[in-house]
Amino acid sequence: MAYPQRKLTPEQELRVDLEWDLRLALRDGKDVIFQRAYGPESESAADAVYQDSIGTPALVTAYQEAVQAFARGDTYGRIGELFTEFMRQASAHYVETLASGVEDPEMRLRVTFGRKQ
């Protein structure tokens, strides 16, 4: 039985690519590298995800729940579960932030993931 290939729009494809690249960057401890007119600028992928989450109420709450679980001495499994949920939500939010910058005709952000040079 053949399964039809789902056709992605360019916007969906961009988000899928960014999500995969971000996941690998987080796993491998890489940086987000922004190509700007004056030269490249980079920051840790993990740091970028965290910084992007600040000010978003749902993400702040998810992060606080993980921290509070640690402070209470909850099991590492529970702490890991809460932190994983925070990272899942925060990463999805960051992918949207990056995609918006790439799609913005005025900003024309170019993003890659790698090690600082």
- pTM beyond 0.75, yes or no: yes
Phi, psi of 21 (to 5 degrees): -65, -40
> In the chain, how many domains are there?
1
Tell me if 102 is assigned to some domain. Answer: yes
* pLDDT at 39 (0 to 100): 73
DSSP count for the chain of H helices, then E strands: 4, 3
Q: Please give the Cα distance from 26 to 91 (Å, whole number).
A: 10
Structural domain span for residue 77: 10-114
Tell me if 108 is assigned to some domain. Answer: yes
pLDDT digits (tens, 9 = 90+) for 52-110: 999 999 999 999 999 999 999 999 999 999 999 999 999 999 999 999 999 988 888 89
Tell me if 59 is assigned to some domain. Answer: yes
Tell me if 2 is assigned to some domain. Answer: no
Q: Residue 69's closest CA among 87, 54, 81, 55? A: 81
pLDDT digits (tens, 9 = 90+) for 11-62: 999 999 999 999 999 999 999 998 876 778 899 999 999 999 999 999 999 9
Tell me if 42 is assigned to some domain. Answer: yes
- Rg, Å, the chain Cα set: 17
